[in-house]
Amino acid sequence: MGIKETLPNNGNHSTGSEPATHVVTLVEAVNLALARAMEQDENVVVLGEDVGTNGGVFRATAGLKERFGCKRVMDTPLAEALIAGISVGMAAQGLKPVAEIQFMGFAYATFEHIISHAARLRNRTRGRLHCPMVLRTPYGGGIHAPEHHCESTEALFAHIPGLRVVVPSSPTRAYGLLLAAIEDPDPVIFLEPSRIYRMVKQEIRDDGIALPLDTCFTLKAGTDITLISWGACVHETLQAARELDKQGISAEVIDVATLNPIDYATILASVEKTGRCVIIQEAVSHCSVGSEIAAMLAEKGLFFLKAPVGRVNGLDIPMPYFQRENLYMPDVHEIIATAIKTMEYA
Amino acid sequence: MQFTTTPYTEHQLIEPGGNATGTLPGWMQDQDLLLKFYRTMNLIRVFDKRAIALQRTGQMGTYASCLGQEAIGTAIGCALKTEDVFVPYYRDQAAQFLRGVPLYQLLQYWGGTEWGNHFTGTAREDFPNCVPIATQITHAAGIATAFKIRGQKRAALVTCGDGATSRGDFYEPLNLAGVWQLPMVLVVNNNQWAISVPRALQTGAPTIAQKAMAAGIEGFQVDGNDVCALYEAIRYSLDKAHAGKGATLIEAMSYRLCDHTTADDATRYRSHEEVNAAWLKEPVKRLQTFLHQRGLWDEQKEQQLITDCQQKVEQAVKDFQSQPQQPVDDLFDYLFDTTPPHLIVQRERTKQKAARLAGGNHHGH
Ligand SMILES: Cc1ncc(C[n+]2csc(CCOP(=O)(O)OP(=O)(O)O)c2C)c(N)n1
Ligand SMILES: [Mg+2]
């Protein structure tokens, strides 16, 4: 399989009923999906800081206000708790708010609304009310950004019952998964790896078709070892897999994509086949999504594992200011070294 | 029934043309202080321009310019007493400099090392820059509470932007400052924009100053381009705090003449006309005209000052660039008082990684 990377050319706009095709980056794919969702469902509204006139600090919402008006694309006052809280209220009223938090490091003020309300409104009311909202935020390091702009704290969200946590790792998956997140009747935290916002372009048919949530994507088939990752690290993982191939080690690469709930069936089937596994994540290791996958493998995969589960993580420290950021970021070398060590067990 | 609202008028001593608006207060006889205002604002303006150039040429990270807002930091820095604590946001270069933070250290912060926050001297209890908007105001209320508990004659002075006033972290400590009569001064740099969002979209109230009323504290608007008016307002508020008479909210009316940061392009959301009009009110020229009129300044002094500022800034750039690379240990050894064992393991592993990366050996074995 592998990611289909196409040559850049200009997107041609839709004529008649045939959906237009665009060659876009990940952040442009987010923009396409938002526009498509707003077109298809008038209940979809976008809100956040600088999302209207400015089109978002990363341009994810560019052009939406011009197209859909300021009642559906709202520049809010600078208040994250407010953004999350009004999204809960709007969602309970049948709107489908897609709220942007400018960076994941500023999402912490939303926790009370997200954890205590969005995630459990359906459960608390035994289904009478529910909360079809999406909270989008760019996340992750490696972009030379100031402090608090480089967080990978997806585990904080993945820990919460009642939340879906979704991470795209390519333009195609950003488009399809964001449409799915917006269609979903429950709250979804949609984490966009800013490091790969503009890394590759892919051809996308703007057909409004969602990809499945709660499903891993197998990006490369292999027989010797399973490499599991999500978000920006998928790219280093694929690179490592290609290097390992050259060394005669056939690596299967899985993009987890939905971090809660996790598609354990796909992961287990792969590890049953290969018997070896390395989990790669940018987050700190302690109490992380990687820890959870490793725990599941210890519970359910012990008898077909031929080696301990390997892990490549960020460090258990806050992301260093950018001069030393690269020491924190997992790299291809570490993935290869860990994979080889895992292969060395008889 | 008829409700009334308190009108807020902008406190001003020198109007944009450089003329006194009325009888000037006695402290303005202090020529040295007036010249200190002027020199500091100029130095920071030269510094700011150089910092942007460093970012543009890849020698520094994202930088938040304070162009047009130099008067606020200058007035704060001059008004604070050594024993007070300053809690900045991120456009307070002038105040931090006056608190004794060397210019090269300001560059270190934006240049991507935590050592840029390691203040000594007068600033040793000051907080570092605060990026999560408005959160610093709550910390300042805590600092002021500590002063109050200990019966110390000290004040916490905290800054934020106009956008910050929309957050709970603005309202909650302001409210507390009223309830507990805290020795706190909150200076809002109302530069009219929060990235692309204009002030009118942050609050439906005509002023930010009037939010003080709901908190039960004193609040007023000051011309944020008039360093003398700012100084007077801040001194008044600090004196009040030192005397145990409670907190003050100051809304400093300024304008962000620059982009939000070097990562922003303000032409996307505001007009040249608006920016050009704001240039007519900027603080440096205003004070210069005033000083000229009083015979305190001339062309020769101006030339000397420009040369002097440039030298100081170039020296700061040199000092910034000649700082040694932060050792790997520093990433681990400041997280806790005592570094726990698992971090010691990671620290040693990271040293090997640093050596590998320094060797330029990217993959391979
Ligand atoms: C809690 C939080 N939300 C969002 C951001 C991103 N952000 C950085 S500066 C800024 C605008 C701040 O505007 P204002 O308070 O007016 O200060 P100014 O930058 O204009 O001086 C925003 C939204 C942030 N740093 N922290
Ligand atoms: Mg502002």
CA–CA distance, B167 with B186 (Å, rounded to integer): 14
Rounded distance between C-alpha atoms, residue A239 and residue A330, angstroms: 13
Structural domains in chain B (count): 2
B45, B154, B199, B260: which one is catalytic? B260
Ligand 1 pocket mutation, candidates B48, B133, B260, criterion most atoms within 8 A of CB: B133
Specify whether the backbone of A208 is left (phi greater than 0), alpha (psi in -120 to 50) or beta: left
- The reply to whether A316 and A221 lie within a common domain is yes
The answer to whether residues A265 and A328 belong to one domain is: yes
Based on the fold, state whether residues A326 and A198 are members of the same structural domain.
no
Q: What is the CATH number of the domain that holds A334?
A: 3.40.50.920
Q: Are B73 and B93 in the same domain?
A: yes
Catalytic status, residue A149? yes
For residue A315, what are the domain limits? 217-343
- Kindly give the confidence (pLDDT) of every residue in chain B, 365 residues in length, as a single tens digit, with 9 standing for 90 and above: 566 555 577 999 999 999 999 999 999 999 999 999 999 999 999 999 999 999 999 999 999 999 999 999 999 999 999 999 999 999 999 999 999 999 999 999 999 999 999 999 999 999 999 999 999 999 999 999 999 999 999 999 999 999 999 999 999 999 999 999 999 999 999 999 999 999 999 999 999 999 999 999 999 999 999 999 999 999 999 999 999 999 999 999 999 999 999 999 999 999 999 999 999 999 999 999 999 999 999 999 999 999 999 999 999 999 999 999 999 999 999 999 999 999 999 999 999 999 999 986 544 44
Domain that holds residue B364: 327-365
Boundary (domain end) residue, out of A172, A205, A238: A205
Taking only the tens place, the pLDDT of each residue in B261-309 is 999 999 999 999 999 999 999 999 999 999 999 999 999 999 999 999 9
Examine the domain organization and report whether B355 and B339 are in the same domain. yes
Q: Are residues A182 and A44 in the same domain?
A: yes
Chain A partners of B335 at a C-beta cutoff of 8 Å? 317-318
Do B348 and B227 share a structural domain? no
Domain total in chain A: 2
Residues B166 and B239 in one domain: yes
> Which 8-state DSSP code applies to residue A12?
B
The reply to whether B38 and B79 lie within a common domain is: yes
Q: Quick one: B200 and B342 in the same domain?
A: no
Taking a C-beta distance cutoff of 8 angstroms, is the pair A41, A260 a contact? no
List of chain A residues whose C-beta atoms are within 8 Å of the C-beta of residue B326: 323-324
Q: What is the CATH number of the domain that holds B290?
A: 3.40.50.970
Do residues B313 and B350 both lie within one domain?
no
B299 shares a domain with B363: no
A194 plus A227 within the same structural domain: no
ipTM of the complex in this document: 0.95
Are residues A139 and A225 located together in one domain of the fold?
Answer: no
The CATH number given to whatever domain includes residue A94 is: 3.40.50.970
B2 is a domain residue: no
Distance from CA of B22 to the nearest CA of A (A): 38
Residue B4 forms part of a structural domain: no
Question: Do B243 and B340 reside in the same domain of the chain?
Answer: no
Question: Which of B65, B160, B188, B201 to mutate to test binding with chain A, by most A CBs within 10 Å of its CB?
Answer: B201
In a domain, A321, yes or no: yes
Residues A197 and A221 in one domain: no
Regarding whether A161 and A27 lie in a shared domain, the answer is yes
User: Is B1 part of any domain?
Assistant: no
Q: Residue B348: left if φ>0, alpha if ψ -120 to 50, beta else—which one?
A: alpha
Q: What is the pLDDT of residues A99-144, one digit of tens each?
A: 999 999 999 999 999 999 999 999 999 999 999 999 999 999 999 9
One domain for residues A195 and A312: no
Distance between first and last Cα of chain A: 29
Instruction: Note whether B333 and B316 are same-domain residues.
Output: no
- Domain-ending residue, one of B321, B337, B353: B321
**Judgement on whether residues B313 and B331 belong to the same structural domain of the protein:** no
Does any domain span residue A7?
A: no
Angle, helices B31-56 vs B227-242, to 10°: value is 110
CA gap A6, A346 in Å, rounded: 40
AA letter at B337: D
Secondary element (H or E) of residue A41? none
| Same domain flag for A163 and A223 | no
**Pick from B168, B135, B136: nearest CA to A83:** B168
Write out the E strands in chain A.
21-24, 44-48, 73-75, 96-100, 134-139, 164-166, 188-193, 202-205, 217-220, 225-229, 251-255, 258-260, 277-280, 310-312
pTM value? 0.95
The answer to whether residues B227 and B332 belong to one domain is no
Please name the member of A320, A322, A333 whose beta carbon is closest to the beta carbon of B363.
A333
B269 catalytic residue (yes or no)? yes
